[in-house]
Each structure stands twice: as structure tokens, then as C-alpha cells.
């Protein structure tokens, strides 16, 4: 049960297709958890910084390096939480995490040489899956450090949700690939590094050659660590303290995407704690009696028309959810309503109330 997971788990990973409400659901679950747990952290790798906006932070408050920010008493109150609640938000900066891995794996001298190379500086953009890999690294460290009771991890929008789970294997394949072997032969290999040949320098040009040599020479120590970590990370989701929550909406395309993701996770034997159906339209609560007397016929007709329109949307959502539920019996489904409010806090508050 998702409600129990809020009490018991140490990490909730929220994933789903683009724009279905992963960031909103992550924040809502964190708010719900902050009612019952003392130290809750919600983490995003979302470059759109939506999570911070959802909590009323502006960009100026963003701290370099993604250090967690604790919500102020005022924000907690607006979220319906007691002022004493412990809820923090962090934006994960992959580059920062990578720098930490460098600091732990290499000597300070080697580390600063590596960081000076263009390849390293561009690595965040170049290496597919690095963002996800660093997220695992970061969460694992946070769990080990035990600074938080629960970490809610909002997954990135740019990649298809499946990419997130494939990331460790992908990075590992890259590290073990020919490209790396050509440049950094392992100790027992008979092939010499390509960089030992003089013609390579001529081909690449002096500066690029020097940088590449530096990068691959210093990266060796890091590569072994990353390969070892990737192996462990594959088991990350099977840990009892980690739960995966899948988010979807009742519209047809997101439902297809959602079912694809559920199937993929089943195949990978990654247990799904619950499926959250977000932005579920509810029937209108409007009745003419609410308005009392003195309302014009014209206005009443308009409002009644709007009510019919809303009720039809609610019916479609209901049918869609029933259909998808029947195809996946035995799963827990949680519904978060579509909240019509300009106040972002209201969405989080109402969704969190759903979990209480």
C-alpha cells in the first residue's frame, strides 16, 4: 500500500511518461509523508526546476551544487503542515555528483587534472544515462548518511521513463566498451593504448591529444569504480526500503505509455508499489440551488452546460481507469484529482490529503 510506504520506505522513486505529473506527485507524496515522518527530502533532476516552483522557491534561492533547502515555516503552513515539520527540497546537479565521485576516487592532483579537460566538462551532456547514474549515486549516499527518513525521487522528463532504469547497464556497457578499451587497456590486455602512437597526436592535434591522454589516463581509476557501482545499482530497486511509484493520467496516450512502463518493470522484475492516476477529472458539484435565487436564465443555462461538459470528462476518465485497472488486476491504484486552482500549493495539499 502506498500509504504504508509513506511510513515505512526510505526511498520512493516516482516515474512515468512526460508531463503526467511526476514532479507534482513527488511533491504531493513528500507533503503527505511529512505529516508522519520527521525528515523528508524530495529530489528532482528536473532542469525545469518545477519542483522548487511548486514549493514557492524562486531561482535566486537555488543553491549552487544542489544542497537541500528546508521549507520555511510559512510554506509548511500553506501546505497544511505543522511548522515543526521537516521537509526539504533538492535539485540534483549531475556534475556536482560526478565531482564528488572524482574527489573520492582520485587523488586531488589527478582530480583537478581530470576536471580541467574539456571531455570531462562536457561529459554531463555527452554521456547518455549519466544524469540517471548520478541520481542513484546521490540517493544511495543520502540513504547511507541517514540524514533523511524518506527520500522521494522525481525522475527526469527528457528521457523515456524506461531509460531511467536502463541507465546503470548503459553506463556499464559504455565503460566496458571498445572505445574505452582502445584508450585505457586493462592491465592484462596485450593491446597498447591508442594514445601511445605518435600518429594519433598528429591526427587529433596537440591540444586535443594532450587533453584526451590526460582524460583517459586519469579516468581509469574512476571507470573501475563506476563499473562496480553499476552492478550494485541494478539491485537498487529490489531493496525492501525502496519503492517504485508509477504515474499516469487517464488520457489515451499516457495510458498506453503507462501500460508500456508497467510491462517493462514487470519484465525487469522491478516491483511497483502503486500506480497513481493523476489529473483525474471529477464530476461537477454545481447545482442551481448553490447560487440561490436572482440568477439570470442565460447564466444558469451557461453554467448547466459547463456542468454537463465537466461530467462528461469525469465519465470518460472513470471509464478509462476502469478499463486499465481491469487489465492489471491485483495492483494498487491511487487517484489524484485534477485540481483547478492557480495556487500551486493547493494541488499539493489536495493530493496529499488524498493519502491521509
DSSP state of 340: -
Q: Which does 127 bind (CB under 5 to 8 A by kind): Mg ion, ligand ATP, none?
A: none
Beta-strand ranges (E) seen in the chain are: 11-16, 40-44, 69-70, 87-91, 150-154, 242-248, 272-280, 333-337
Taking CB under 6 A as the rule, does residue 338 contact ligand ATP? yes
Query: Given the complex with ligand ATP, which of 21 and 250 has the nearer CB atom?
Result: 21
- Report strand pairing: 150-154 vs 242-248: unpaired
Binding mask 300-329 for ligand ATP (x = CB under 6 A): ------------------------------
Candidate residues 34, 46, 95, 321; the one interacting with ligand ATP per rule CB under 6 A: 46
Taking CB under 6 A as the rule, does residue 18 contact ligand ATP? yes
Provide the CA 152 distance to its chain's centre, in angstroms: 8
Taking CB under 6 A as the rule, does residue 9 contact ligand ATP? no
Shortest Å, Cβ 28 to Mg ion = 13
Candidate residues 9, 10, 22, 35; the one interacting with ligand ATP per rule CB under 6 A: 22
DSSP state of 63: P
The residues facing 41 across adjacent strands are: 88, 151
Order of strands, sheet of 11-16, starting from the edge strand that comes earlier in the sequence: 69-70, 87-91, 40-44, 150-154, 11-16, 242-248, 272-280, 333-337
Identify the burial level of 128 via C-beta atoms within 10 angstroms of its C-beta, where 0-12 means exposed, 13-18 middle and 19 or more buried. middle
Taking CB under 5 A as the rule, does residue 15 contact Mg ion? no
Q: Which sign does the torsion angle of CA 282, 285, 287, 293 carry?
A: negative
> Is the Cβ–Cβ distance between 93 and 66 less than 8 Å?
yes
Extract the C-alpha cell encoding 13.
522513486
Q: Which does 101 bind (CB under 5 to 8 A by kind): ligand ATP, Mg ion, none?
A: none
Which segment (23-31, 199-207, 213-221, 241-249) binds Mg ion by CB under 5 A? 23-31
Candidate residues 93, 212, 278, 310; the one interacting with ligand ATP per rule CB under 6 A: 278
Q: Pick from 340, 345, 343, 347: which is nearest to 282 by CA? A: 340
Taking CB under 6 A as the rule, does residue 131 contact ligand ATP? no
Query: Given the complex with ligand ATP, which of 212 and 278 has the nearer CB atom?
Result: 278
Candidate residues 46, 137, 257, 281; the one interacting with Mg ion per rule CB under 5 A: 46
Q: Which does 19 bind (CB under 5 to 8 A by kind): ligand ATP, Mg ion, none?
A: ligand ATP
Chain residues binding ligand ATP by CB under 6 A are: 18-24, 46, 50, 157, 278-279, 336, 338-339, 347, 351
Amino acid at each position: 500500500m502506498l500509504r504504508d510506504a509513506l511510513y515505512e520506505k526510505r526511498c520512493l522513486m516516482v516515474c512515468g511518461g512526460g508531463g503526467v505529473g511526476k514532479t507534482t506527485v513527488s511533491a504531493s507524496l513528500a507533503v503527505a509523508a511529512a505529516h508522519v515522518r520527521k525528515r523528508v527530502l524530495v529530489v528532482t533532476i528536473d532542469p525545469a526546476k518545477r519542483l522548487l516552483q511548486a514549493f514557492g522557491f524562486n531561482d535566486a534561492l537555488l543553491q549552487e551544487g544542489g544542497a537541500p533547502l528546508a521549507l520555511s515555516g510559512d510554506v509548511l503552513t500553506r501546505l497544511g503542515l505543522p511548522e515543526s515539520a521537516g521537509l526539504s527540497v533538492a535539485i540534483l546537479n549531475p556534475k556536482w555528483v560526478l565531482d564528488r565521485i572524482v574527489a573520492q576516487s582520485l587523488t586531488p592532483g589527478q582530480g583537478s587534472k581530470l576536471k580541467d579537460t574539456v571531455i570531462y566538462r562536457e561529459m554531463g551532456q555527452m554521456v547518455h544515462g549519466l544524469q540517471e547514474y548520478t541520481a542513484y549515486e546521490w540517493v544511495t549516499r543520502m540513504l547511507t548518511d541517514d540524514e533523511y527518513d524518506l527520500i522521494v525521487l522525481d525522475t527526469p522528463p527528457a528521457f523515456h521513463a524506461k531509460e531511467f532504469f536502463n541507465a546503470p547497464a548503459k553506463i556499464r556497457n559504455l565503460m566496458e566498451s571498445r572505445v574505452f578499451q582502445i584508450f585505457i587497456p586493462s592491465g592484462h590486455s596485450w593491446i597498447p593504448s591508442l594514445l601511445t602512437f605518435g600518429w594519433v597526436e598528429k591526427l587529433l592535434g596537440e591540444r586535443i591529444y594532450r587533453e584526451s591522454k590526460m582524460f583517459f589516463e586519469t579516468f581509469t581509476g574512476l571507470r573501475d569504480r563506476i563499473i562496480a557501482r553499476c552492478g550494485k545499482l541494478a539491485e537498487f530497486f529490489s531493496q525492501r526500503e525502496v519503492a517504485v511509484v508509477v504515474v499516469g493520467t487517464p488520457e489515451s496516450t499516457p495510458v498506453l505509455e503507462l501500460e508500456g512502463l508497467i510491462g517493462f518493470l514487470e519484465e525487469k522484475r522491478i516491483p511497483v508499489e502503486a500506480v497513481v492516476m493523476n489529473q483525474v477529472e471529477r464530476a461537477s458539484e454545481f447545482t442551481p440551488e448553490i447560487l440561490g435565487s436572482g440568477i439570470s436564465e442565460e447564466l444558469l443555462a451557461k453554467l448547466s452546460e459547463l456542468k454537463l461538459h465537466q461530467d462528461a470528462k469525469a465519465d470518460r476518465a472513470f471509464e478509462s481507469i476502469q478499463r486499465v485497472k481491469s487489465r492489471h488486476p491485483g495492483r494498487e491504484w491511487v487517484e489524484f484529482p485534477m485540481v483547478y486552482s492557480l495556487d500551486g500549493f493547493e494541488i499539493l495539499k489536495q493530493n496529499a490529503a488524498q493519502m491521509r
